[in-house]
Structure 1
């Protein structure tokens, strides 16, 4: 006679929430943390005007990049890992050589501090968004330091940018998500009616996840604009904080001003797990592409690596 089957395993039990490493070195708040596309190393952006390179698998520092005159707010790594771009209060885009630690180029064109940067579909193009209410695109191959395209549809600060294929996504304090099809010259707007501080594509590219300043994350159908789900329980009312999706899109990751990290089920929007991560706001989150760990950046000056 066959033995009775045991209870089904709880998928939430495998979500990273156990501290593996604490990465320290920044003097002041860490405003963001970004993984390279392969998930082999990460960059942290600090209020101390530095960008730091780490091996999150071993919990060790590799290199510090100094050159910003103001806080570093965001970074993006090229797919071949040879270069990365960083932005912040300088109004400039810094392009760095990873190995030498030298600035290869500075792009100028924003009229105010820059909040976000991402590589587009090709490593040759960078996309940035800033306090001047614009998204700008830059050609890394060109000797020109001027933007190759400017997108001006926003009515307030652009806080976040993402890119997928021929599409650029921006989120703004004006409460909108705006997508620009740069190939067809078309623009699409979703009005969430609450300031947006972070936005990402789902893994399948069909939906958009946005973190809003009314303590709500929202999942929107990209094509129809339909609100599919709202995720609540965290506190997010005054600090720029990130959001993420775990690989496979089964779980949403949100940050909280009380120092906690939250996981919700994507479809049901039910809270799956939360845990204390920092003393003070969690400014940034980044999920390893294979789900091996979660990275968090905190106002307490630390980056932490969370495993299962």
Structure 2
């Protein structure tokens, strides 16, 4: 039985009894004690609100329900857990997968939870005490990623079998596959308008697919590493990629140019999540930190310490008021963003429809980040928020002089742009890379066909041997039967 108790001002703590196996977790709301030099120009720091412990191994995925009443998490302990945000409400542990669960997500309505696993299946759960689920026999290898379309009608999955598959949720029916990757596919996501799909793979490509035509309309290439996680900006006009080369990149899918490049982590970046306003980006890394990037000013805003070990997954709530992190320390932390309390920008953006502007023709417009205050004022350094598992924030926790060498999105509050069109014809260098990649893909497909033909030949041989054996048995049986008739005739 899982029981959750609340004690104000203390850090989440786990106590386990040998008799009744009770896990007790308390909530934490640490507040910073320092006074900023200019409180009007500084945003309040994110604060740790809840700390959940219940998984028995690394937490691999986290997501909020649309009504903010529940949080779903996945883990390599083969379980999916549903945590209730309301105090003293029990959590649910869903057992069904036979191997590590790699990803989890609520449907837009919150009535379903999708999970995927190393056991090659995808499950759809009803997030209540009954833990009812249905199973998709989805892939022939580990399923790494699962994502609902914004209307909740479709599901996209990514797998180590090098494919991206799309499913009809309510009919629980496979629709089609996208098969141009030549290595494991780490992540796949629908665009906000459901017209596009983006996927990232160990083959160092990020592919943009047209859902209707089922064709790859563009590929972005990673040279130093591969993208372990990708997602669409809320405007649908650009995508962000978390890379194994410790970087975070933003690409414009209309101009096909890189907009921003952040080198703020010292370890592999595992996950990212856009704030609903589109102004902020949350990242998680093997360097044990979670970072918040200000996309308007193109700089690192906060560095959050709390997990002991790699931070594997992050997610903003649907309204952006909270975000959650999960790590290899088996913990799930829920933070209050506090963006609205100190930022007029977020409030303004919520009432303004905008899209990220396209880059100008030729060289993309990439501007050095500028301070948000008056001209001549020194840039504000990124602030570090530390949670040291004792509920105390040291007075100098935010005196971090490190800043990021980043770029800014110009005029991010510009009017809405026209809908995405089919991309322009690629340049000669891009065409050459596309040709090389296509040839590699063809060779890979030929290898698969050769293996398939070999398997078919073996099956044909086995079938022929079986038929021959059956014929021999039938002949022997007929001879025996004929001999018995002759013997009966002779006796008479």
Q: CA deviation at 1:28?
A: 1.1
Q: Helix, strand or coil for the counterpart of 1:199?
A: strand
1:55 Cα deviation after fit: 2.4
SS in 2 for 1:48: coil
- Write the distance in 1 (CA, Å) between the matches of 2:294 and 2:71: 26
- Give me the whole-angstrom Cα distance separating, in 2, the residues matched to 1:227 and 1:241: 20
Deviation at 1:242, TM superposition (A): 0.7
Q: Which moved more, 1:163-172 or 1:49-58?
A: 49-58
Residues 243, 60 of structure 1: alpha-carbon distance in 2 compared, 3 angstrom cutoff: farther
> Aligned equivalents of 1:271 and 1:78: distance in 2?
31
2:222 to 172, 192, 196: 192
Match of 1:120 in 2: 149
Pair 191,57 (structure 1): closer, same or farther in 2 beyond 3 Å = farther
Structure-2 change in CA distance of 1:300 and 1:174 (3 Å): same
1:85 aligned residue: 114
Aligned to 1:245: 274
State the distance in 2 between where 1:15 and 1:195 align.
32
1:220 aligns with 2:247: no
Aligned position for 1:3: none
Distance 1:300 1:179, change over 3 A: same
- 2:233 match: 202
Post-superposition CA distance 1:61-116 (Å, at most 9, x none): 43111111101111122222222111011101111122354443211141100000
Instruction: Kindly name which structure, 1 or 2, has the bigger radius of gyration based on alpha carbons.
Output: 2
Residue 218 of structure 2 is aligned to residue 176 of structure 1: no
Partner Cα distance (1:41, 1:102) in 2: 14
Select between 57-66 and 79-88 the one with higher mean Cα deviation: 57-66
1:75 & 1:37 partners in 2: Cα distance?
14
Q: Distance in 2 between matches of 1:140 and 1:295?
A: 26
Show the 5 A alignment for 1:65-76. 65-76=94-105
Identify which of 320, 329, 342 aligns with 1:300. Answer: 329
1:98 and 2:123 are equivalent in the alignment: no
CA distance in 2, matches of 1:29, 1:71: 9
The question of whether the paired residues in 1 share the 8 Å contact of 2:243 and 2:270 is answered with no
Confirm whether residue 155 of structure 1 aligns to residue 165 of structure 2: no
Deviation sequence 1:155-201 (CA, Å, 0-9, x none): 21111111122221111122221121112333221113331111111
Q: Is the 8 A contact 1:258 1:279 kept in 2?
A: no
Say whether the 8 Å CA contact 1:90–1:113 is kept in structure 2. Answer: yes
Q: Which runs of 5+ in 1 are unaligned?
A: 1-5
Q: What SS is found at the alignment partner of 1:248?
A: coil
The structure whose RCO (Cα within 8 Å, separation 6+) is larger is 1
Are the structure 2 counterparts of residues 220 and 57 from structure 1 closer, same or farther at C-alpha, using a change threshold of 3 Å? farther
- TM-aligned CA distance change 1:24 to 1:78, over 3 Å: same
Q: Deviations over 1:250-297 (max 9, x none)?
A: 222111212111112214432111020200000000112222222000
User: Which has the larger displacement, 182-191 or 104-113?
Assistant: 182-191
Structure-2 change in CA distance of 1:19 and 1:113 (3 Å): same
Q: Separation in 2 of the partners of 1:59 and 1:296?
A: 21
Distance change (3 Å), C-alpha of 1:31 and 1:109: closer
SS in 2 for 1:98: coil
CA 1:259–1:58: 2 relative to 1, 3 Å? farther
In structure 2, the CA distance between the partners of 1:38 and 1:176, relative to structure 1 (3 Å rule), is: farther
**Which has more strand, going by share of residues?**
1
Deviation at 1:207, TM superposition (A): 0.8
1 CA distance for matches of 2:38 and 2:59? 41
2:119, 2:142 within 8 Å by CA — same for their partners in 1? yes
What TM-score results when the alignment is normalised by the length of structure 2? 0.57
Q: CA RMSD in A?
A: 2.1
Q: Secondary structure at the match of 2:254?
A: coil
Aligned residues: 297
8 Å contact kept, 1:29–1:301: yes
Counterpart of 2:28 in structure 1 is none
Q: TM-score under structure 1 normalisation?
A: 0.89
- The answer to whether structure 1 residue 277 and structure 2 residue 297 are counterparts is no
Is 1:167 the counterpart of 2:196? The answer is yes
Q: Give 1:8-157 correspondences, 5 Å limit.
A: 9-10=40-41, 13-14=43-44, 16=46, 18-56=47-85, 58=87, 61-142=90-171, 144=173, 147-157=174-184
